[in-house]
Amino acid sequence: MTKYSVRFSCDECSQVHLMGHDIFLENGPASKATIGDFFADTEIDAQLVKIMRTKTLCPGTGNLTSQQDLQKIFLTPLDD
Ligand SMILES: [Zn+2]
């Protein structure tokens, strides 16, 4: 299992933020990838679906926001 950080491009402030949860994937992407690209031909991992439904605080504006666009959500493998 590899640990991944989940980041998203924020519609509120156009910055990239952490979604606040790391996830573990078997056979995840070897390098940074969007959810849209990586899960193009397979079902999106249930952990990610759950995270996408959760609103995240934008540190730039202080508003709660969420991102449903699969091309604006990124998985980055963490080495530890
Ligand atoms: Zn933001």
Can you give the pLDDT at residue 38? 97
Distances (CA, A) of 70 to 7, 38, 60, 61, 63: 11, 10, 22, 22, 21
Query: Ligand 1 centroid to 34 CA: how many Å?
Result: 18
Query: Ligand 1 centroid to 75 CA: how many Å?
Result: 17
Query: Ligand 1 centroid to 10 CA: how many Å?
Result: 5
Residues 65 and 12: beta-carbon distance below 8 Å: yes
Can you give the pLDDT at residue 80? 63
Query: Ligand 1 centroid to 74 CA: how many Å?
Result: 15
Can you give the pLDDT at residue 21? 87
Query: Ligand 1 centroid to 9 CA: how many Å?
Result: 8
Can you give the pLDDT at residue 4? 97
Residues 29 and 77: beta-carbon distance below 8 Å: yes
pLDDT by 10-residue block (mean), the chain, 80 residues: 96 95 94 97 94 94 96 92
